[in-house]
Amino acid sequence: MLKIVLISVGLIIGFSLDIVSMFTNGWICVNQYIGYTYYGIVPFRNDMPFWFRLGSVLMYCSFASYLILAPLFIFVV
């Protein structure tokens, strides 16, 4: 039961951080670098097509979720 709770908490925290990073300007990345604007953790040019920006965000979400869940599986499961 404890394992399920910890994994669920990890998922909730991971996806919450993903959502915050998508809507926060320059959370970790430099806000303006070489004339471009960056949003959240995922560094992409603001003038890129929508599909490219969406792909960047999805790649970040999957990677961030893995980083949060991996220690849970290593040390708990």
CA distance 36 to 54: 17
- Say what the pLDDT of residue 67 is: 75
Residues 6+ apart with CB under 8 A from 8: none
- At 9 the pLDDT is 76
Indicate the pLDDT class of residue 52, thresholds 50, 70 and 90: low
pLDDT digits (tens, 9 = 90+) for 16-43: 766 666 665 444 444 444 455 544 444 5
Tokens for 66, please give them.
């893995």
What residue has token string 């992409």? 44
Beta-bridge partners for 36? 33
